[in-house]
Amino acid sequence: MTVRRGSLLVMVVAASVTLLPAAAVARKPHWERRIDAIVAGHPMSVAVGNAGRVWYRHHASARRPPASNEKLLLSMALFDRLGTAHIFTTRATASGIDADGTVAGDVYLRGEGDPEVAAPRLDTIAKRMWQAGVRSIEGRVIGVTGPFRRDWFAPGWKRYFPRYYIALPTALTFRGNVSATGRHIIDPERRAAVYLSHALRDRGVAIGHDAAAGTGGAGLDAIATASSKPLRTIVRHMDRRSINFDAEVLGKALAYSAGDAATIANGAARICALETARGIAGTCHDSSGLSYTNRQTAIGIVRMLWWANRQPWLGALRTSLPHANQGTLRHRLRGIKVRAKTGTLIDVSALSGWVWGDAVDRWVPFSILSSGISTGVAKDLEDKVVGVLAGRARP
């Protein structure tokens, strides 16, 4: 058979183009090919790397809902702005205490966004009011409904979320803003004031009128205060159990600390502003990750973890996340040294954080996001990927 020289050249070039991808695949490390096989055919994004260098990526720039991985980004924003030792103060304020121990008007109970206020905190305030000399209150105890806005919804939330998944985020909280029967309540400030009134009466303080909720109390003297746990502890409770209520209260506190109106939207905007400052584009509608219209990328989250690696609060952030078989990682990743934030919505799953790489003897940042796949399948795939990273990943 006769073949023209030009045709032969075309055939040789075509054969080379066909063979090169196979050769490139053959040069991939075994651990990368193993992850390729795990995620093949699934709508899943994976990004892995360290010290500013990407080791592995699979659809890493696809924008997907991060679910509760948004709390990981919120944690960074909180620590960056407020510091790990920040405390929230709950205050009882009044116009003053007369020589005979009488408060002439009302006592105002004010919160700053501590999501963990409960009976012991208010018992402390009652004790300190007694120690300050309070023996009677001519008015009443008023739970202040500000300064946070009382908004309770975000774009991308299902209409039933406030009833079942997220209690009303307020500045003055009480018992997670949930009733004894588990119902989300709309009057936590009044309930906190009622409890404080009872605690004061138990100590012998006379109070003229029943407790209520309302505005006011600005510019008055603090007659008793009680402090929250340090922010690093509150964030650890939030991240390990993925508490939506805590996230939205803290998101409003984050916005308020920056001089913005304390709303869900402004808390979310502060998270995205932190990303934008790092050159990362995200879409943030809430702080908890409940919104189906939030968008992040796996590579963006990994780049945020790289940035966190250089911050003085890195240790507090990493230890705030659950380790294997703890919190939201219960029954998962046994035997693997990992610190990671989970995220789950209907057909949405996420897992981002650090895994200890035995091959490199260091923590390795990673992010795995999926959408359009059942969460059970997604979690199984996530665990397989992390298992490979723990044992084999290296640059």
Which residues of the chain have a pLDDT value below 50? 1-20
Structure tokens, 219: 């510019």
- Pick the closest to residue 295 from 347, 246, 348, 250 (CA basis): 348
Q: Which CATH architecture has domain 89-228?
A: 3-Layer(bba) Sandwich (3.50)
Q: At what angle do helices 69-82 and 264-277 cross, to 10 degrees?
A: 80
| Structure token digits, residue 354 | 């650090």
Instruction: State the pLDDT at residue 18.
Output: 43
Q: What is the pTM of this model?
A: 0.92
What pLDDT was estimated at residue 27? Answer: 84
Any idea where the domains of the chain sit in the sequence?
Answer: 31-84+232-392, 89-228
What distance in Å separates the CA atoms of residue 289 and residue 243, rounded to the nearest whole number?
10
Which CATH architecture group holds 31-84+232-392?
3-Layer(aba) Sandwich (3.40)
Residues 6+ apart with CB under 8 A from 230: 84, 85, 86, 87
pLDDT tens, position by position, 274-288: 999 999 999 999 999
* pLDDT value for 5: 44
Q: Give pLDDT, residue 218.
A: 83
**Would the CATH topology of 31-84+232-392 be identical to that of 89-228?**
no
Q: Tell me, what's the pLDDT at 128?
A: 98
- As a 3-state breakdown, the chain gives helix, strand, coil percent values, each rounded to 5, of 40, 20, 40
User: What pLDDT is recorded for position 267?
Assistant: 98
The reported pLDDT for the residue numbered 4 is 44
Residue 168 and residue 178: Cα distance in Å, rounded? 9
- Neighbour tally for 68: CB within 10 Å: 26
H helices of 310-358, in order, are: 314-320
